Structure 1
Amino acid sequence: TLLTIHFIYRYLAVVAPEKLRIFSNWKFFASLAFYLVAHACLYTYVILALIPEYETLELTEARSQLAIRIDRTIDNGWLSISYWRNGQIVENSLLLIVIANFIQGINLTITIGFAILTFRAIRRTANHASKSSNKFQMQLFVAICAQ
């Protein structure tokens, strides 16, 4: 989600630098913060609501092996999710995977969309902007993609 916001910023920096002032507007900033918090809350709620609350043999073994290897015990947090139980797929685990991937897929789609738009805008402005400016924008774009 932060990377999505970064690509939106980079897109505006290339296409309409005068519109970057919107990132200084407290209402816009609050809406971005709300988006980040809502995303995190939704993701956490889905995980908490759908993770089975039973102790499996695999989970017990994973905890004991982890305690041996790192000399710490983990009682809280999500160590692992059991997808199979008694030869059947655990429906909550499958639903968790589907919903989590859907949430991540939406963000990925938006991010890729702005990445493509930014790349195309940099290529389009190559004839209008200076070579150093265009090279700098492309370097920033590559750096964001590397993240």
Structure 2
Amino acid sequence: LRMSAFTNAVEWIELINTISGLFLNLLLLYAIRRFSKPHLGAYKQLLTTFTTVDIFLVALHVLVHPRVMRAGYIHATVTDTIFDDVRITALYIGLQSVPFSLLAIHFLYRYWSVCKPLRMPLFSNKLFVLFLASLIAGAVVSWYFLCLLCSKGHDLTIAREVVASEYAVMYGKRIQNAWVLLDNWRDGKIDVTLFVVTCLMDVITVSSIVLTLSFAILTFYHISKSDKLSIQAHTLQRKLLIALCAQASIPTLFVYIPYLICINIPFLKIPGNFFHDTAAPVMTCFPLWDAVIIILLFSDFRRGLAGMMRKL
């Protein structure tokens, strides 16, 4: 079986994004360690953590080679590994929540730095950091079990055969068991369990976006109204918040919105496979452009790297 020209193009885009994303995030990690100024404080550690997670997600994408597909009204996500195991696919999906959990923490950090500065030492407190880590892990586990719930109590033999055959036609390889399936309209009737799962996925996704947006709006408001900040501090806080908002827009545009579209259009019986066929390469844009945005918006990193390049 031969892949189509469209599929080949998608594979090449994905490869370019992956290599570029890995290189730029490694470069950014170096810039954070080499060129960060003291005024960043604990925010340096948050940036380091986020960039490290981006590198991990790029490597994970290469290892599991995920694909998002649609066959009829079936939404399907699969990973291509030697194990052919749905648990790997569920874990991959769960790990995509980590950047958004970190973004919420970033926005909380910015909000407290402006409105509740006395709470800032908490970010250096091991118990508080452990609490934040447990929230991140909880989000991963929630997504993991929601994905596994999709296949509980259902006979997915026919649906699995349909998507496995479709995958074989598109990619020239057959994967039988590693599918996370949302077969909402099996036999023409809505599946109540999958309806609830779809709604929960939507609620978690939208809630993450709303939470970060709320922190951003509140922080902008308090920066504009604060009379306790010096002109220099006001400018710095505003610049850091704008950079964080730009950074937050990248995973929202390249991960959450595409995934919202992909899990909902089959459920709503909206025709078209374009979003599913392009979902995997679009998601690889996230680590790439995330690094680009941070390098461009943080002048210390931009100037430091530019100076380093001029010396080569």
- TM-score normalized with structure 1 length: 0.80
Shift of 1:70: 3.5
Residues 1:77 and 1:142: Cα distance change in structure 2 (over 3 Å)? farther
Check if 1:64 corresponds to 2:184: no
8 Å contact 1:83–1:90 — kept in the other structure? yes
Q: Aligned residue for 2:270?
A: none
Residues 1:142 and 1:73: Cα distance change in structure 2 (over 3 Å)? farther
> Which residue, out of 19, 44, 55, partners 2:119?
19
Shift of 1:85: 1.3
Shift of 1:22: 0.6
- Give the whole-Å Cα distance in 1 for the aligned partners of 2:235 and 2:138: 36
> Which residue, out of 208, 220, 238, partners 1:138?
238
Q: Aligned residue for 2:156?
A: 54
Q: Aligned residue for 1:42?
A: 142
8 Å contact 1:122–1:138 — kept in the other structure? yes
Residues 1:128 and 1:22: Cα distance change in structure 2 (over 3 Å)? closer
Residues 1:140 and 1:126: Cα distance change in structure 2 (over 3 Å)? farther
Residues 1:66 and 1:136: Cα distance change in structure 2 (over 3 Å)? farther
Check if 1:102 corresponds to 2:211: no
Shift of 1:141: 1.5
Q: Aligned residue for 2:215?
A: 114
Deviations 1:40-70 (A, max 9, x none): 212222221233451334x434333333434
Give percent identity, aligned residues only. Answer: 26
8 Å contact 1:56–1:82 — kept in the other structure? no
Shift of 1:72: 4.2
- Name the count of aligned residue pairs: 144
Residues 1:66 and 1:108: Cα distance change in structure 2 (over 3 Å)? same
Letter of the 1:124 partner, please give it. K
CA RMSD of aligned residues (A): 2.5
Shift of 1:77: 4.2
Shift of 1:98: 1.4
SS at match of 2:183: coil
SS at match of 1:81: strand
Within 5 Å, which residues of 2 pair with 1:69-108?
A: 69-74=170-175, 75-78=177-180, 80-108=181-209
Shift of 1:36: 1.2
- Give the whole-Å Cα distance in 1 for the aligned partners of 2:205 and 2:107: 16
Higher RCO (C-alpha 8 Å, min separation 6)? 1
Within 5 Å, which residues of 2 pair with 1:121-132?
A: 121-125=222-226, 128-130=229-231, 132=232
Residues 1:9 and 1:53: Cα distance change in structure 2 (over 3 Å)? farther
- Give the whole-Å Cα distance in 1 for the aligned partners of 2:236 and 2:173: 47
- For structure 2, list consecutive stretches of 5 or more residues without a partner in the other structure: 1-100, 249-312
SS at match of 2:178: coil
- For structure 1, list consecutive stretches of 5 or more residues without a partner in the other structure: none
Residues 1:124 and 1:53: Cα distance change in structure 2 (over 3 Å)? farther
